[in-house]
Chain A
């Protein structure tokens, strides 16, 4: 594989966002994934979301595990630092990075093999720890990079390209994340940009552990008839719960909505999420209800998408550790070293 540089010539007519960047500034080099791979659409959605959200690219740290999905951070946000870690262990590296510098925006990217198979433990623990991040799983039900074996999210009964039938039940990462304590849990589909982009924006604006389980068909190994992760299957079985709009603290939110169909949710950092309900009886703040709903739809063979769960009040890891406001990475000797006199006192106590 070679690195294909994209021409960086800015067309003067390219519009700039509030922080002075064009959409191009959020892109990366050309993807080397298969043409039509769902992961590339998610990368494009990330680019669009960050541009629209007025995020300075260098303030994002993007981390991933190993897999086709985990390669994507190379192909978006070229001006951000990135870290392709080891298979299934991105969550711990992201946690450490977040501990070191609480000022950056953390974007974790993973696959279903990376998060649900080898990395299920770290996936669960990062949610429970409350790390402030956006965690995107590009979920295709297979291991793309190692050529099409079933992953742990593959649905029971799904048929592999060569005909094998998956006999084990699949892990639903969204339900698991709700149980583990994630405070923003959503699901979407790589083929539904209109739903996906606002969800990514909302996840980034959320001051806590936000996870997006994005169904992302693998055209090379899991897009055939009989697969439950093919473009056709997901389009036919997508049960969207709601649509979102995200408003930054600066923007005035003036909306008039028919009671019961739209809900305004204010987050502790001031951002406002406006939820347009599609399934009227669905309340994303009700944990048990959310889990029951997802389960019921799944039994009916449907994929529930949209904002599944939101707990705007939960404190993040730094809040619980009560760390100073300045990034730990920036503290120097004066802030960290107690000095010779304090050490002499310790010596005295040890005599």
Chain B
């Protein structure tokens, strides 16, 4: 007999459901109840690209230590979908637990001997209690949450508080949900041995003031607080909820109290060509504008992105990355649009990219992107992904300082034009490569200019002179160098003792990376780590690479896109950079990173090079 798993505040529960069965809110209730017990959780939705009837999973990692990356492996399955029963059962760690609806008896062959089966007659209880079919379905979900609470030691009062909050003002709903939860709890208490489940939640104090937020909603909040007034978008998973959330928050926070009028404009465009075109038109005309999209949308936008780069028009693109290429894996996560965004469009182009690690940074970076776009007069990408965007993640609370001013960049005013200040749209007067602009309608006779994607001289006149072209391209290069000092700097986590090895990661890889580093240090493999937060890279990134003999570049794509970007932009020896790549569409795990790095260390791939020069 396999030993039953015993763990307190450190395990993974996977809910297997049928899409559209109303399980999502019950599953989230389970995760929130654990949070309310002071224990960190990180849930992940795993869903197919369809609306109803197909399987969906909700995987909750409980980690008292606060590890928020996906762990890998499953310790308990709540098997509510007969279709995926076999595969769900097969995934269970030996010694794990299977919670299922035991209303209909199943043959012994349907179960695993090395797994503890916990049968609760959910359907039978529901049918005996409710007559309405919809209620039977919905309360079955609440029933299993009640059962889990009893099995794991989650305080029912915590769940009841959550109901009270969710259904505030709808007292009958609170009562009926509490009743369903108690039905599940009582059945387990009265019919199963008290120690049947070795996975337990113990009250802790590890959540603090953290919030439980989705990256897409956070990006939308960043756009509201950051002053975006125009949003043009075209629906695409996993980015649609950015624009939808923006609309929701705008209705609430940007509706003029006196007149009921909107201090924002949202257009669902006919495609991504139009959505980026609208953003560029609005940016040209002085409004803060953004779009949200995913890989296929970026592909369509590229001609326009080149125009915005060359004509120097502020624009913000939130790219919630998904699995590519082509339609790829639309409901799975990846970090595979780095190159297509960094160099988007024909000709020599380069763009500013920001890499948020979690919802907090989705908020911060979207607001920052609106400032950067106007300061630098160029497109700025917020490179989120499905893992951060569409899952709730525990993170630091959003913060905003009252009195913070928007950086509207170099916009020449009517007064400045009136007193005769020289205006050359593409003139580098300040030595930072950033020219001054005027907005349409500013002055009756001064400051008007023609914006175009063709070559022009410093005064915005059409030109086919090679010298004008080169001067402009070099100024753009200088402007990009200026950007290095304006973007969020990388975050260094030193190993704490001298090491020749480093690791670079970015974006949603952060929590798995942090967890992996801790284990590797404990195992005697200290690594200095650098979390990149933006492109172009500040000098510190090159310094970091040169300070280590070998640097692992950990990312979620097949081709090592960040590694290519580092090699290309920093002119470092590619042999120094070892790719660690995870790209099956599931979020990267600490286990994967640890194994990959250990393997390479064992294979001697990273025997420190003898320094040629010291």
Q: A interface vs B, CB < 8 Å? A: 1, 3, 56-59, 61, 63, 73-74, 78-86, 89, 91-101, 103-104, 121-122, 125, 129, 317-318, 321-325, 327-333, 335-344, 346-347, 350-351
Chain B residue at minimum C-beta to C-beta distance from A329: B286
Interface readout for B259-271 with A: 1 if CB under 8 Å, 0 if not?
1111111110111
Chain A residue at minimum C-beta to C-beta distance from B414: A58
The answer to whether B281 and A328 have CB atoms under 8 Å apart is: no
The answer to whether B287 and A328 have CB atoms under 8 Å apart is: yes
The answer to whether B461 and A3 have CB atoms under 8 Å apart is: yes
Interface size bracket, B side:
35 or more
The answer to whether A342 and B253 have CB atoms under 8 Å apart is: yes
A-side contacts of B453, CB under 8 Å: 84-86
In angstroms, how far is the closest chain B Cβ from the Cβ of A16?
Answer: 13
Is B211 located at the chain interface by the 8 A CB criterion? yes
A58-B448, A122-B273, A351-B212 are contacts. A81–B462 as well, Cβ < 8 Å? no
Of the candidates B265, B277, B448, B450, which one forms a contact with A89 in the assembled complex, judged by CB atoms under 8 Å apart? B277
The answer to whether B303 and A333 have CB atoms under 8 Å apart is: no
Interface of B is mostly: loop
Chain A residue at minimum C-beta to C-beta distance from B303: A86
Chain A residue at minimum C-beta to C-beta distance from B226: A337
In angstroms, how far is the closest chain B Cβ from the Cβ of A24?
Answer: 12
- Scan residues 491-539 of chain B and give those whose CB is less than 8 A from a CB of chain A: none
Is B283 located at the chain interface by the 8 A CB criterion? yes
In angstroms, how far is the closest chain A Cβ from the Cβ of B171?
Answer: 20
B-side contacts of A342, CB under 8 Å: 253
Q: Which of B256, B281, B449 has the most CB of A within 10 A?
A: B281
A89-B274, A350-B212 are contacts. A97–B281 as well, Cβ < 8 Å? yes
A-side contacts of B443, CB under 8 Å: 58
Is B442 located at the chain interface by the 8 A CB criterion? yes
A89-B304, A343-B225, A343-B399 are contacts. A332–B284 as well, Cβ < 8 Å? no
CA distance A162 to B358 in the complex (A): 62
A58-B445, A81-B449 are contacts. A92–B274 as well, Cβ < 8 Å? yes
A-side contacts of B454, CB under 8 Å: 84
Please, could you name 11 A-B residue pairs with CB atoms under 8 Å apart, sorted by A? Answer: A1-B464, A84-B450, A86-B304, A92-B273, A93-B284, A96-B280, A100-B283, A129-B267, A321-B266, A337-B400, A344-B397
5 closest residue pairs by CB, A with B: A96-B281, A92-B277, A100-B287, A329-B286, A96-B278
CA distance A16 to B96 in the complex (A): 89
A-side contacts of B442, CB under 8 Å: 58
CA distance A351 to B261 in the complex (A): 31
In angstroms, how far is the closest chain B Cβ from the Cβ of A67?
Answer: 13
The answer to whether B273 and A74 have CB atoms under 8 Å apart is: no
B-side contacts of A333, CB under 8 Å: 227, 404-406
In angstroms, how far is the closest chain B Cβ from the Cβ of A51?
Answer: 15
Chain A residue at minimum C-beta to C-beta distance from B255: A322
The answer to whether B451 and A82 have CB atoms under 8 Å apart is: yes
Is B118 located at the chain interface by the 8 A CB criterion? no
The answer to whether A104 and B261 have CB atoms under 8 Å apart is: no
A-side contacts of B464, CB under 8 Å: 1
CA distance A200 to B229 in the complex (A): 31
The answer to whether B282 and A99 have CB atoms under 8 Å apart is: yes
- Scan residues 99-119 of chain B and give those whose CB is less than 8 A from a CB of chain A: none
A-side contacts of B254, CB under 8 Å: 336, 338
A86-B453, A93-B278, A346-B221 are contacts. A79–B448 as well, Cβ < 8 Å? yes
Is B476 located at the chain interface by the 8 A CB criterion? no
B-side contacts of A343, CB under 8 Å: 221, 225, 398-400
The answer to whether B230 and A339 have CB atoms under 8 Å apart is: no
A74-B450, A86-B453 are contacts. A97–B262 as well, Cβ < 8 Å? no
In angstroms, how far is the closest chain A Cβ from the Cβ of B518?
Answer: 26
Of the candidates B229, B397, B401, which one forms a contact with A336 in the assembled complex, judged by CB atoms under 8 Å apart? B229
In angstroms, how far is the closest chain A Cβ from the Cβ of B469?
Answer: 14
Of the candidates A78, A104, A346, A351, which one forms a contact with B448 in the assembled complex, judged by CB atoms under 8 Å apart? A78
A-side contacts of B397, CB under 8 Å: 344, 347, 350
CA distance A93 to B279 in the complex (A): 7
A-side contacts of B229, CB under 8 Å: 100, 328-329, 331, 336
Chain B residue at minimum C-beta to C-beta distance from A78: B448
B-side contacts of A336, CB under 8 Å: 224, 227, 229, 254, 263
Is B598 located at the chain interface by the 8 A CB criterion? no
A-side contacts of B265, CB under 8 Å: 99, 318, 321, 323, 328
Chain A residue at minimum C-beta to C-beta distance from B440: A81
Known: A93-B280, A100-B229, A351-B211. 14 other contacts (CB 8 A): A78-B448, A82-B451, A92-B276, A95-B232, A99-B282, A101-B439, A321-B262, A333-B405, A335-B263, A336-B263, A337-B226, A339-B402, A340-B401, A347-B398
Q: Which of A1, A58, A79 has the most CB of B within 10 A?
A: A58
CA distance A344 to B399 in the complex (A): 8
In angstroms, how far is the closest chain A Cβ from the Cβ of B465?
Answer: 9
CA distance A83 to B259 in the complex (A): 34
A-side contacts of B211, CB under 8 Å: 347, 350-351
B-side contacts of A330, CB under 8 Å: 286
CA distance A328 to B254 in the complex (A): 12
Is B92 located at the chain interface by the 8 A CB criterion? no
The answer to whether B441 and A81 have CB atoms under 8 Å apart is: yes
Q: Which of B230, B285, B304, B452 has the most CB of A within 10 A?
A: B285
In angstroms, how far is the closest chain A Cβ from the Cβ of B459?
Answer: 10
CA distance A7 to B289 in the complex (A): 39
Is B213 located at the chain interface by the 8 A CB criterion? yes
The answer to whether B289 and A92 have CB atoms under 8 Å apart is: no
Q: Which of A74, A91, A330, A343 has the most CB of B within 10 A?
A: A343
Chain A residue at minimum C-beta to C-beta distance from B398: A343
CA distance A34 to B304 in the complex (A): 29
The answer to whether A95 and B263 have CB atoms under 8 Å apart is: no
Is B62 located at the chain interface by the 8 A CB criterion? no
Of the candidates B212, B266, B275, B445, which one forms a contact with A79 in the assembled complex, judged by CB atoms under 8 Å apart? B445
Is B41 located at the chain interface by the 8 A CB criterion? no
Interface readout for B357-397 with A: 1 if CB under 8 Å, 0 if not?
00000000000000000000000000000000000000001
Is B193 located at the chain interface by the 8 A CB criterion? no
- Scan residues 200-251 of chain B and give those whose CB is less than 8 A from a CB of chain A: 209-213, 221, 224-227, 229-230, 232
CA distance A317 to B287 in the complex (A): 17
CA distance A101 to B281 in the complex (A): 10
A-side contacts of B461, CB under 8 Å: 3
A-side contacts of B209, CB under 8 Å: 347, 351
Chain A residue at minimum C-beta to C-beta distance from B273: A89
The answer to whether B451 and A100 have CB atoms under 8 Å apart is: no
Chain A residue at minimum C-beta to C-beta distance from B462: A3
In angstroms, how far is the closest chain A Cβ from the Cβ of B163?
Answer: 16
B-side contacts of A324, CB under 8 Å: 256, 259, 261-263
B-side contacts of A58, CB under 8 Å: 440-445, 448
A81-B440, A322-B261 are contacts. A337–B225 as well, Cβ < 8 Å? yes
The answer to whether B277 and A122 have CB atoms under 8 Å apart is: yes
Is B307 located at the chain interface by the 8 A CB criterion? yes
A-side contacts of B279, CB under 8 Å: 96
Q: Which of B253, B270, B271, B441 has the most CB of A within 10 A?
A: B441
B-side contacts of A332, CB under 8 Å: 227, 406
A-side contacts of B286, CB under 8 Å: 100-101, 327, 329-330
The answer to whether A323 and B261 have CB atoms under 8 Å apart is: yes
CA distance A321 to B230 in the complex (A): 11
Chain A residue at minimum C-beta to C-beta distance from B266: A321
A-side contacts of B284, CB under 8 Å: 83, 93, 96-97, 100
Chain A residue at minimum C-beta to C-beta distance from B211: A350
In angstroms, how far is the closest chain B Cβ from the Cβ of A297?
Answer: 31
Q: Which of B227, B277, B462 has the most CB of A within 10 A?
A: B277
The answer to whether A99 and B267 have CB atoms under 8 Å apart is: yes
CA distance A346 to B221 in the complex (A): 10
A85-B307, A343-B400 are contacts. A99–B225 as well, Cβ < 8 Å? no
In angstroms, how far is the closest chain A Cβ from the Cβ of B299?
Answer: 15
